[in-house]
Chains A and B, each alone.
Chain A
Amino acid sequence: MLNVGKIEEGLVLDHIKAGKSMEIYRYLQLDKLDCTVAIIKNARSNKMKKKDIIKVECDINMLNLDILGYIDHNITVNIIQKGEIVEKMALHLPKEIKNVIHCHNPRCITSIEQELPHIFVLADEVKEIYRCKYCEEKYSKKASHDK
């Protein structure tokens, strides 16, 4: 099996659904960071059979982790300091997400004004419903999973 070394300071995103790591790489804008990033695809997992892992060696404040809660709240976020796990962060659905999902309402102002950020606000945490900040168009996270 492929071995990737320990990191000294940063975070390890574990239990990423197999094949989803590149999506997370893009959402977290890891391409813009000048630090070591390791992406492990299709690693063996007892719990998930196959999983992806991302290791990032950087100051954790440089990353907006809220978005992870939206993408998949089952991801384990391990905070690493001096080579050891010091904290496992719980993920929640973020209150607001920007430019992650796009409003498909043809009557929404974002449909004609391209420079506007697509902002969705959490309207119902239990039902995982977001609404467009401009037109209030509903976006159900559960429904999008079911597709």
Chain B
Amino acid sequence: MKHLLSPLDFSTEELDSLFHLADDIEREPGKYAHMCAGKKLATCFYEPSTRTRLSFETAMLNLGGNVIGFSDAASSSASKGESVADTTRVICCFADICAMRHPKEGAAYVAASRSSIPIINAGDGGHQHPTQTLTDLMTIHALKGRLGNFTIGLCGDLKFGRTVHSLINALVRYENVKFIFISPEELRVPDYIIEMLKEKEIPYEEVINLESCIPQLDLLYMTRVQRERFFNEEDYVRLKDFYILDRAKMALAKQDCLVLHPLPRVNEISVEVDEDERAVYFKQVQYGVYVRMALILTLLELV
């Protein structure tokens, strides 16, 4: 039995199979519409996350399965002091697979170590959010046709953004990827990632200005500056609108440069960019459903 706790739990070969399955689901959804009939997904969300939870639930419903669960800690036994380990043992009696989000880091690992059903980490604090990484990789795979041989710009909050860290760790396993990190000085990518890139001799640049590097990008991954990461409101206000991707900046980008964003977007991408065919962040949400469908089928060993 396999769990998904970190994006690196799957080898690149396993990811290839997953993405090809997701491709097939996109092409022929009807073929998969009843594959999970009689199966139940438990969505155990100890903190609210509408998008991720709905994506998992949609994925299971698209496969003909059912969904049970809770969407915040207050409506679970955690409010009575039940441990993650005990809740997991109980859920195993009800469901066939479980997607868990928890504000504490390592919660999904605790669940997996006590579980008799596959556990999917749907986010554990600032630690891991592997299905977001699968979604990002799937979008690149589907729309670029390759995972490698490109220059990717990551822009915004590169210090606290766990989606960025996970994506970098996942992409270094592919050939010929160059990273351009675009951030204000205060939100630079952490040193341990820079050290890892140096060790693996993977090319990277750190820049502050988006306009100057946008022409060389094949992919631009925008992120939001998150208010909750700052202790000081003044710093947040100063940095939140540091980058705003607009039509003028998009005019400098390559004709096939795709713009991704894990969403929710605030001000960092102007709404006028939504009309641009290269803006694929809403398509990314759809690919998130396909890849979660493929993941559920894979972990339940139904394919």
Contacts and interface: CB of A to CB of B under 8 A. Distances in A.
B148 interface: no
Interface string A116-143: 1000000000000000111111000000
Given A133-B109, A134-B109, A109 B84 contact: yes
Interface string A92-116: 0000000000000101111111011
Interface in B125-151: 125-127
A113 B110 contact: yes
Contact of A111 (B104, B126, B127): B104
A108 B83 CA distance: 14
Among B85, B102, B104, B107, chain A packs the most CB atoms within 10 A around the CB of B104
B106 A115 contact: no
B241 interface: no
Contacts of B83: 113, 115
B105 interface: yes
Interface string B96-116: 000000111111011000000
A18 to B, nearest CB: 37
B126 to A, nearest CB: 6
B219 to A, nearest CB: 27
Contacts of B103: 107
Contacts of A113: 83-85, 110
A112 B104 contact: yes
Nearest to B128: A136
Nearest to A111: B104
Interface of B: 83-85, 102-107, 109-110, 124-127
23 contacts: A107-B103, A107-B104, A107-B127, A108-B104, A108-B105, A109-B84, A109-B105, A109-B109, A109-B110, A109-B124, A110-B106, A113-B84, A113-B85, A115-B83, A132-B106, A133-B106, A134-B105, A134-B106, A134-B109, A134-B110, A135-B125, A135-B127, A136-B127
Given A105-B105, A109-B124, 17 more contacts: A107-B103, A107-B126, A107-B127, A108-B104, A109-B84, A109-B109, A109-B110, A116-B85, A116-B110, A133-B106, A133-B109, A134-B107, A134-B109, A134-B110, A135-B105, A135-B127, A136-B105
